[in-house]
Structure formats: C-alpha cells, structure tokens
Structure 1
Amino acid sequence: MRPSFDLPPNARVLMTGAAGYVGQALVKALALSAPTSWQWVLTDTQSAEGARSEANTRWVAGDLSDPRVCDALFQQPVHAVVHLAGLMSGRTEQDVALGERINLHACLDLLARCRAQHSQGGPLVRWLMTSSIAVYGTPLPPRIDDHTPQRPSLSYGTHKRMLELMLDDMNRRGDLDGRAVRLSGVVLRPVLPNGALSGFNSDLIREPLSGRDYVCPVSPDARLWLLSLPSALAHLTRLLGLDHATWFRVMGPAGTCALNAPAWPVTVQEVLQAMAQIDPQAPQRVQFAPQPDLQSQFGAWPQDVSFALAQHLALTDERQTFKHDLSAFMRQLAQSILIP
C-alpha cells in the first residue's frame, strides 16, 4: 500500500545529503511512493552517480555552509526539508571546528531561512531530520526509553542534541513543523571512509559473510542496536508524510520533537550465531581487539528498551517483522552482499 503524504500536491521538497548512503536510497524510495507532482531540490557536496534527472528534480551541488548554496536552495518557497547531511562522529571528533560548521551552523542557517520564509507569509516548513542515538552519552544507562535524559559524550551527539532543542523551540513558537528521528547505526553500509564510528556494525556482518577475515573493535559480549536500511527508509517516509494532528497528538504530551527509531538490541555473540545459520564458517573469520572507548560508547547499548512513541506513530519494529528471529533478519541483510 502506498503511504499517504500530508503535504500539498505541488509540494517543493528539499533533501540535503542526497548523495549519501541513506540519501540515495531515500531518493529512490520516494520516487516510487511520493506524489509525482512534487518538485524536488536535492543537494550534497557533489551529485550522486546516476542521480535523478527527471524534469521535476534539480540538483544543487555545494557546501551547505556557503550562503550562495542556501540562496539557491530557497529561490522558491519550500514546503518540506529532509535534512540528512552531516559530518559523521569520528571525523567530528578529529576536527571539531569543521563539525560545528557543517553539523550545527549550516543547519541553523537553513532553519533560519525556514523561519524567515514563514514569517514573510510563505509555507510553514515541515522539517524532518535524522538525529542519532549518540545523544546518549557514556556511561550508557541500563535502560533507554522515550524519557531517558540525553547527555552526549561526543561532539557529534552534542550537535544533534542542540539541533533537537532548536526544533523544539521553533515548534513552540510556531515557526516550523519540526521532526527528528534518532537512528542507530544503519546496516549494511558500504565500505566508505565517512568517519562513522559505528561503522563496525556493518563491517562485522559484511566482511565475514563475504569470506574475509575481520578484527572486531568490541568484545563478543558487546551490546549493539541494529537497524536495516529498508526500515530506516520506512521510518523517514512515514514521518515525512504524517499529518500534523497525529504527530502533535503523540509527541505534544512528550514535549519533544525527537523520538528513538525502533532498533534491534543484540550482542555481538548473537550476531555471530545468526551469521552461522547463513555461513557456518563466518564466525571463525572474526577476531577481537576491543577498544575501550569504542566499546563504552557503541558496544554498551542496553537490551532493556522501549520505543513507545515510535510504536504510537506506527513505525516499523523489525523484531516484530521477523518474529524475533535474528537469523531471518540477518538473511535479509545478507541479500545485499549477494549471499544466497
């Protein structure tokens, strides 16, 4: 069944980070599900290979921190923004000034333009942003639910939390229809030097199932949260099209614009056992060299979780989709690397 979209038939939708891993997949997914009358403005530092070339699509390549790029993005009124662009966790830790420029200041400029558009009589912008479970810092609590305090211990998580608060304030003032979904490490990511510290989640699965040895930077008892790309796309599509009344009914009492996307809490050992159902030799290709800092931030996620807000908004929970059969979930992931 095609999803419904509570946006004007002629909506002009801006997507940042459209050439990234999630961005390219979301562009393709929305091309199949969104109204064909929508106008698209896609932006990234460079256009994606094989990028959309339809008459209703325009690419703007450039750095979001360049005012001229933002001027081009807002040449005409914008009805919705899907903000995926950002500098990943590892690179942000290495270059905090660059991280602030891309993750924080460029985004604040876009938000200011949304507010100015509405204050001048233009459309109220529906803003959908990918946030991150990195808003939770170390030591991670024994349980995470929709009311767990956010105390980030990485600059990347701090930037995401600051933007969530900005969305809350703009929503309160009626300047924006702001929504943020906190994603865990999306699998299976390709081998890319994008600086995501949680990228080992994908490496742990992809490398052994591809017949290659892998040195895991967390221990066998490390606890991960896994989220497949198709599920992440479903979350974003659902929240982009969700009507404001339903969104406010669920999120208003919570007093926040941000919710945790349902993820699958697993241990590394459980991942290896599930992989063995696909390739009995795969677990033997994994060795361990735990890095304490990485394990404390990305390998200590609680198994006691609640995604109540997401459930109220009918976001997919893959544990239910696969009837809590982790090996079935892993088989779906393996299809993307041509494992029969």
Structure 2
Amino acid sequence: MKRVLVTGAGGFVGQGLVQRLLQQPGLEQLVAVDRQLDAQALPWLRDRRVRAVAGDFAAPATLQQALAQPPDGVFHLASLPGSRAEALPDGGMAVNLLATAALWQRLAELPGPPARVVFASSIAVYGALPMEPAMHEDQPTQPLLSYGAHKRMAEILLADLSRRGGVDGLSLRLPGIVARPPSPTGHGSAFMSDLLHRLSAGEAYVCPVGPDARAWWMSLACCVDNLLHAAAIPPARLAPARVVQLPALTATVGEVVQAIAQRHGARAGRVDYRPDAQTEQHFGRFPVLHAPQAEALGFRHDGGLDALLRRAVP
C-alpha cells in the first residue's frame, strides 16, 4: 500500500498501527485522522509522509480533506467505546454507525480500484457469550449493547459494499487489547490493562472480577500484526460475510496474576478481589475460543501468557 488512511490514529491501537505502517517499505503517504492530533505527544506526526487531519471523521469537510487522494488502504479504528456509547446513545449512533456508514459510502464513490478497508469491529457483536466451555468463531451474533449493535450493522454494510465492488472490506472482531494506558477511556475491559500495569509495577490492585473470571487477551503488538495481515489477504480468500473473529488467548485473571508473579517474583503487586456482578457478566465469562478459519487465513494470537506479558508490559 502506498497511500493509507487511518481513522482513530491518535488512539491506543491507532498509534501502534501508525508507527508500524511507517516502517513498511513503499509507503508514500499516511493520512492520520482523529479529533485531536498533538505533534508533541505524537512525534510520528512530524514524518514527512504523514498528513494530519484533525476533526470529526464524519464531518463532510474532514472526509473531503482525508480523501483528497484516493487511498489504497484504509484502517477504520475510530469509535466511541462501549460504556461511553451506552451512556451517550446519540453520540454512539453518530460515531459508531452513521459516521462509519458515511465513510464507507464516500470510499465506495471514489474513482479507481476499490480500497482494502480493514474495520476494527468488536466481540461486543455477540452479546451474551455461550455458557459452554468452548465457542466457535461462527457463533451467532446477538448484541446486548448499542456499541455491539452498531458494530454489527457496520460489518453488514461493509460486506454489502464489498459485494457491489465499491470497496474491498474486511471486518476484524477484536478482543480486549492490552495494555492500554490508564485513563477513563470508556472501554469496559479497561480493568484488564489496569491489572497488568499495576501488578507489573509492584502496586496493589483492587480487581472488579474474581480470579476465575476468564477473558480473551491480545497484546497491542499482536493486534497490529493482525491488522496489517488483514490488509494483505487476497479478496478471493475471503468469505462473502467479510468478517473474521481474531484468535485470542483465553486465560483466567488468576492465571494472568500467576504469570505476572512468576515474571516479577517478589516485586509483583498484590490483588484484592472485589467482584462486580455486571463486570463479571460482560467481561469475565468467556469460553475458550476456537478460530480455525481465521488461523487458516494466517491470523494469530500471542501464543502464551509469557509472550503476551512481554509484549503488553515490556
């Protein structure tokens, strides 16, 4: 890809992706879109190949500026996270559905070959996960929150526009990505990152789920690997639904705590478990994920907790 557009470029995943894209051979231009882009906080903005577009990506003026030159590849990461989208339903609708649909449509109207669009969807599309010990990647979707519903609708629209030839899209359903910087981001899974940061720093942590709470984990580096891989898969290998459930490392919080203790020894922090029923219901009852179709396409998880921790909290 010579010309790439990244929405949400200033976010946690966006920054990691942009830095990796700038290392790719042949890249001529990277258009970075986000509501705010600070060159002091984001040194890569000073790269001559980067064109920063600060503003709401759904605003016509922002889209026009971002798409001044048709991109070869698009990574759509911008969103209003789950709990914030639920608390601000109008905002969630505007960003996660309407703005995304506007972006898809504008891309489909561009001249030239259709761009490969990699969409950061979410496991929130499933809603309540099955109580069985394991889950297959073909699990039916039944979102319980607006965030998941909007992500699912965006997946369907992207697949339809791909069928019609306007874009060449692929939606990736992301699990919890760690370790996000401590901040009130609105991600319900933020406790996963907070746990890693605090214990690895030797600090105590009050955990909102119990030690048996089981979740899907993926490091930022692994997530970026999968995003870049998605951009390179030939269209002929993709199913008509144009959706991939990424493989994820399944582990309980207790197993993660033990792995941190083994890595840091006596320097590791201690955990005080104070489970919150709602947090456990949404983020602590994950079955073991089986994703052979995604793995056959070349997508991967971190491989083990030791590798996850090395990448997530180096």
TM-score by length of 1: 0.86
What is the DSSP-based 3-state SS (H/G/I as helix, E as strand, rest coil) of the residue aligned with 1:174? coil
The match for 1:72 is 65
Q: CA 1:138 to 1:43, structure 2 compared with 1: closer, same or farther past 3 Å? A: same
The match for 1:286 is 271
| Pair 1:19-2:19 in alignment | no
The match for 1:134 is 124
The match for 2:280 is 295
**1:181-330 alignment, distance < 5 Å:** 181-244=172-235, 248-249=236-237, 251-252=238-239, 255-281=240-266, 285-303=270-288, 305-319=289-303, 324=304, 326-330=305-309
**TM-superposed deviation, 1:160:** 0.8
**Deviations 1:33-72 (Å, cap 9, x if unpaired)?**
2413x22211101114223323322101001232111111
Q: CA 1:277 to 1:45, structure 2 compared with 1: closer, same or farther past 3 Å? A: same
Tell me the distance in 2 between the aligned counterparts of 1:70 and 1:60: 9
Could you tell me which of 68, 77, 83 is aligned with 1:84?
A: 77
**TM-superposed deviation, 1:328:** 4.7
**Deviations 1:9-37 (Å, cap 9, x if unpaired)?**
xx32111001111111111111112413x
Q: CA 1:113 to 1:141, structure 2 compared with 1: closer, same or farther past 3 Å? A: farther
Alignment RMSD, CA only? 1.7
Tell me the distance in 2 between the aligned counterparts of 1:57 and 1:140: 43
What is the DSSP-based 3-state SS (H/G/I as helix, E as strand, rest coil) of the residue aligned with 1:65? coil
**Deviations 1:157-192 (Å, cap 9, x if unpaired)?**
111111111112112222210111111111111112
**TM-superposed deviation, 1:282:** 6.5
8 Å contact kept, 1:272–1:283:
no
Q: Where does the alignment leave 5 or more consecutive residues of structure 2 unmatched?
A: none
What is the DSSP-based 3-state SS (H/G/I as helix, E as strand, rest coil) of the residue aligned with 2:108? helix
Tell me the distance in 2 between the aligned counterparts of 1:95 and 1:16: 21
The match for 1:62 is 55
8 Å contact kept, 2:221–2:311:
no
Tell me the distance in 1 between the aligned counterparts of 2:244 and 2:140: 12
The match for 1:150 is 141
The match for 1:334 is 313
Q: Counterpart of 2:112 in structure 1: which amino acid?
A: G
Tell me the distance in 1 between the aligned counterparts of 2:72 and 2:269: 51
Q: CA 1:328 to 1:25, structure 2 compared with 1: closer, same or farther past 3 Å? A: closer
Residue identity over aligned pairs, in percent, reads: 37
| Pair 1:159-2:145 in alignment | no
What is the DSSP-based 3-state SS (H/G/I as helix, E as strand, rest coil) of the residue aligned with 2:61? helix
**1:88-103 alignment, distance < 5 Å:** 88-103=81-96
8 Å contact kept, 1:18–1:84:
yes
Q: Counterpart of 1:56 in structure 2: which amino acid?
A: R
Tell me the distance in 1 between the aligned counterparts of 2:311 and 2:112: 44
**TM-superposed deviation, 1:98:** 0.4
Tell me the distance in 1 between the aligned counterparts of 2:71 and 2:310: 40
The match for 2:100 is 107
**Deviations 1:119-170 (Å, cap 9, x if unpaired)?**
xx43312111111111111253423222110111121111111111111211
Q: CA 1:332 to 1:168, structure 2 compared with 1: closer, same or farther past 3 Å? A: closer
8 Å contact kept, 1:140–1:297:
no
What is the DSSP-based 3-state SS (H/G/I as helix, E as strand, rest coil) of the residue aligned with 1:77? coil
8 Å contact kept, 2:198–2:269:
no
**TM-superposed deviation, 1:331:** 4.0
Q: CA 1:331 to 1:78, structure 2 compared with 1: closer, same or farther past 3 Å? A: closer
Q: Counterpart of 1:206 in structure 2: which amino acid?
A: H
Q: CA 1:318 to 1:13, structure 2 compared with 1: closer, same or farther past 3 Å? A: same
8 Å contact kept, 2:203–2:269:
no
Q: CA 1:284 to 1:238, structure 2 compared with 1: closer, same or farther past 3 Å? A: closer
What is the DSSP-based 3-state SS (H/G/I as helix, E as strand, rest coil) of the residue aligned with 1:300? coil
**TM-superposed deviation, 1:76:** 2.3
**TM-superposed deviation, 1:284:** 6.2
Q: Where does the alignment leave 5 or more consecutive residues of structure 1 unmatched?
A: 1-6, 336-340
8 Å contact kept, 1:18–1:24:
yes
